[in-house]
Amino acid sequence: MAPLDPPSTSDEILADALEEYHGRIALGQPTDPASYAARLGSRFEEFLEVLAAEEALDRAMAEPETAPLPRAFGPFTLVREVGHGGVGVVFEAIERHLGRTVAVKILRTGIDTDEDAKERFRREARACAHVRHDHIVTIHGAGEAEGQLYYAMDLVPGESLEELIKAGRVPESRRLAGELAKVADALSEIHAKGVIHRDIKPSNLIVRPDGLMMLTDFGLARVDGGLRVTRTGQLLVTGHYASPEQLLGDQRRIDRRSDIYNFGVMLFHAVTGQLPIPTDDWNVLYRRRLHERPPAPRSIAPEVHPDLDGIILKCLEPEAGDRYQTAAELAAQLRNFAAGRAVDDQGALSPSVRFGRGLKRRWKPLAAAALLLVGAGLGLRAWWTGRDGTLELRYAPQFAALLKSSGLEAPPPATVWINEKQVGALPWRGDLAPGVHRGQVRIEHADFEAYPLEDDPEQPDRGFVVDAGARVVREVLPMPRAGLGGLGGVGRLLEGSHPELVRPPSLTRGLSGGEAPAELLMPRGAVRTQDLAEWMLDINAMAFVPGGRLVLRRGKEELWTAPLELPSPESHLVCGRFPDAVLARIRPGETLTFGWVPPVPPSGTRPEARAFEETVRVLASDPSAELVPQVEQTYAAAHPRLVALLRARALAASGLLSAALQQVRAQVRDPLRDRLALEELVRVLRQVGVYTQLEQDIDDFLRGQGPAPRLCTR
Amino acid sequence: MGLSETHAALRGALGVPSPAREQAREQLLTRLRPMLVLWSGTRMSPRLKSRMEPEDVAQEIMARVLKGLDGFQAAHGDGETRSFHAWLFTVGENCIRDLVAREDAIKRRPPVLLSVSQTSPSQAAYRREQVERMLQALDALEPEDRDVIRLIKLQGLTAGEAAPLLDKTPNAVRIQLCRALKALHLRLAGPAGSTKAGETPPRLPR
């Protein structure tokens, strides 16, 4: 379970306000949420968010099921649903008085009270009606029926470009470019009428059976000079295709060049089969779109022609001024490429080309960097013995030898877990006191990709960026329950005992969390201090070293100016890599909790458990209430806890489950030792019949498949 | 569907046998269905989810509810809504445990036709998507956030009732509910298409 922030007074104020708000509504006193603004102050926004989430839940729960088709709708008979987008649902329909088949797009009910959505819908109808083009779906009319807005348009047979991409049936690149050039012409015409589409993506491009492509869905179009209905910051465009300025929600900067960017992402997706930033993580998308250049399509699909590569990269320039300035320019270049003519790639150099040019200018520093990389690679090769994709924690040879020479057998391994999941086992260490040893590391970023060497005009003094397989060392002591004085104490202690390590002050903030301190240290002098502030922590491997220290490896672009000073590889007790499944769970911004749990030593609880089970067995054969006091008398002196558990079981048998839970819960003081009480707790939880993560956690722990559950202290 | 709405629908569904009662039962289940889909989505283990959709589980629960309503009526007379809710979720829990036990043998069932003619065509698609989106958002929450939302917002327990189940004080439950709803809002407000069906969406930082 992830740690929770401790409840604060302001959290309680929010909870109180929410309770009061619902109380008033229940009493038939509708209350304006705005009346809480003054009372909640800076937390009012959160109050509104909570209400919005509740409303969304209510809406989702209040939905009846489907309606049969065909059915009449205004002047149409709806035949079947052919798709749905961000604002509306599209049906194939028959216009009854003309007998013709059309597509009818209906604004979704449920958001029809949202004036923004209504206005967007009307605007779409207006925008479509403004434009007549062979490559734009023609609109026939708009209206309102059954309280819902709709418009009718040509029913275009075919599939969306998105479907073709998914099916791997995208036309050959020159043919694709030729068709898309026509779409860019259509876009140019739209722009000329003052309309920005703002949602160009493969699903909004219909490919007819004859290969002709048609642009549709103007749901997000903005008529220049028209009413601005989108609230600043509201993200309307699909995130994967959004331009940087769209992601920023900066309406003033969104213009026709945003469409060019969207177009470029669509083209990228079509020719490589991948998105430039193939992530579903909003934080990663946002950060990389705003701060990084997209990869060259050729780096993903080498068969992409360099000219097409250049066209796409020019569309994807982060700065709108560096892109094609008009759709007509883009159309011309696509047409050039389709016809095999030279493409003007001014300003659209791929990183590989830039790298080649940069190489000529900077061969000396690059050679030095290459040497460093080789050195680092050799060091890491010696360091990481785990196989890729699998966790391999094992005895270091010298440790095994030590055991052997001492005539010792290896004790059972301790459970090692990351993010509450068991990921392996750690050899028993005699000096590691029983108990949960845990620490936390906040992961700012978890990708680990090789980046092409390229010029970075924004940081000319850096010259180039390399994937150095940079390594961050985090030192974590075997953490006692108390003592050492928290983070600072651990840091001082480590610095004192490991002079080769230094604690970068800029990175230590925010590293501690929860109940145990964690500390980031790194080889002294490994990097320039001024680079540290820019670090994003990428961790793709870990090692446990003597003293209970944990070493994490990261790989990401960094400029290294000094050799890596690896701690002695001989010092490592065990090492390993995160398995893919663990990597997949590590998300930017998440706190990674790691730790290891030595095996629970056999304790006195087992005889107690046997006595308990025996008593229960007797009770089961004679379920008379009188037996309980007898049992209490028998065991009270030796096992007061057992008696409490028996009482709990009696309560549970009487249906007083809540009281039983409390009774059992009170007996769990230390999950590592109170196994019997834990077993009973999970049993009562099951009897309550309401599954919770707590039940699962306890169960996992009891089966040795998870860390000790974190129970609240009262 | 809140308790008050359930109450009205339940009264009709528990009358003497008649065509009107059957219609009311169908209506009751139709109304319960989205909530049961969400409940199932938050209650199913990842393993079960890999085998079945929440819709299938909700369908199974509804089938059992339909079969068991006479028994419930016999035990509870005209039906007190809280008893019905307690019974409903017990049926749900049992259903899920049974499904886990025999998940290999489960085959997808065609949906029972529970149509409400007054639903507009666009509503149907929109609502399906809304439920799907909500499921994805709930799925992306921390387990304890999901638990607190399920127990309080879907099952209608009070903070006091949910507290021992979550090993928290009632006050901590109230606070966690607020946090969970904020996290849910954050998920729902994310970019369209940021999560896809069948994929586990990333967790947001707390």
Per residue in A291-306, pLDDT tens? 777 888 988 888 888 8
pLDDT at A649 over 50: yes
Q: Is A703 on the interface with B (CB under 8 A)?
A: no
How far is Cα A652 from Cα A349, in angstroms, rounded to an integer?
Answer: 73
Amino acid at site A714: R
Measured CA distances, A487 to A418, A478, A545 (Å): 21, 13, 20
pLDDT at A266 over 90: yes
The distance of A612 to chain B (nearest Cα, Å) reads: 23
Q: Is B98 on the interface with A (CB under 8 A)?
A: no
Q: Is A265 on the interface with B (CB under 8 A)?
A: no
pLDDT for A467: 20
Could you give phi then psi for residue A156, rounded to 5 degrees?
A: -95, 115
Tell me if A575 sits within 8 A of A546, measured CB to CB. no
Q: Cβ contact (<8 Å) for A15 and B175?
A: yes
Tell me if A235 sits within 8 A of A247, measured CB to CB. yes
Which DSSP letter does residue B143 get? H
Q: Cβ contact (<8 Å) for B182 and A60?
A: no
Q: Cβ contact (<8 Å) for B192 and A86?
A: yes
The distance of A150 to chain B (nearest Cα, Å) reads: 10
pLDDT at A265 over 90: yes
Q: How far is CA A538 from the centre of its chain?
A: 15
Which DSSP letter does residue A241 get? G
Is there a cis peptide before residue A6, judged by omega within 30 degrees of 0?
A: no
Percent of chain A whose predicted confidence (pLDDT) is above 90: 5
* Residues ≥6 apart with Cβ < 8 Å to A368: none
Q: Is A696 on the interface with B (CB under 8 A)?
A: yes
Contacts of B88 in chain A (CB under 8 A): none
How far is Cα B172 from Cα A660, in angstroms, rounded to an integer?
Answer: 20
Taking a contact as any Cβ pair under 8 Å apart, which residues of chain A between 50 and 69 contact chain B? 50, 52-54, 56-69
* Whole-structure pTM value: 0.39
Q: Which residue has the higher pLDDT, B121 or B155?
A: B155
- Name the residue among A229, A192, A187 with its Cα closest to residue A204: A187
How far is Cα B8 from Cα B15, in angstroms, rounded to an integer?
Answer: 12
Q: Which of A8, A45, A61, A284 to mutate to test the interface with B (most CBs of B within 10 A)?
A: A61
Token pair for residue A375? 């050195």
| Highest mean pLDDT (candidates A40-49, A326-335, A574-583, A609-618) | A326-335
Q: How big is chain B by its Cα radius of gyration, in Å?
A: 17
Rounded average pLDDT over A93-104: 81
Burial degree of A632 (CB within 10 A; 0-12, 13-18, 19+): middle
Q: Cβ contact (<8 Å) for A281 and B151?
A: no
Q: Is A5 on the interface with B (CB under 8 A)?
A: yes
How far is Cα A251 from Cα A245, in angstroms, rounded to an integer?
Answer: 8
Choose among B96, B116, B169: nearest Cβ to A65. Answer: B116
Contacts of B174 in chain A (CB under 8 A): 12, 15, 18-19
Span B53-70, pLDDT tens digits: 787 788 778 877 877 887
In 3-state terms, what secondary structure has residue B199? coil
Q: Cβ contact (<8 Å) for B144 and A2?
A: yes
Q: Cβ contact (<8 Å) for B203 and A658?
A: no
Q: Which residue has the higher pLDDT, A20 or A79?
A: A20
Tell me if A410 sits within 8 A of A501, measured CB to CB. no
Rounded average pLDDT over A495-523: 36
Give the residue carrying structure tokens 């997209």: A294
Rounded average pLDDT over B108-130: 45
Tell me if A482 sits within 8 A of A488, measured CB to CB. no
* Position B135 confidence tier, pLDDT thresholds 50, 70, 90: confident
Taking a contact as any Cβ pair under 8 Å apart, which residues of chain B between 59 and 78 contact chain A? none
Percent of chain A whose predicted confidence (pLDDT) is above 70: 43
Helix residue ranges, H only, A464-522: 486-497, 505-508
Contacts of A712 in chain B (CB under 8 A): 167-169, 172
Choose among B134, B146, B174: nearest Cβ to A60. Answer: B134
Taking a contact as any Cβ pair under 8 Å apart, which residues of chain B between 1 and 40 contact chain A? 1-2, 5, 30-31, 33-35, 38
Q: Is A672 on the interface with B (CB under 8 A)?
A: no
Q: Is A94 on the interface with B (CB under 8 A)?
A: no
Taking a contact as any Cβ pair under 8 Å apart, which residues of chain B between 172 and 191 contact chain A? 172, 174-179, 181-182, 184-186, 188, 190-191
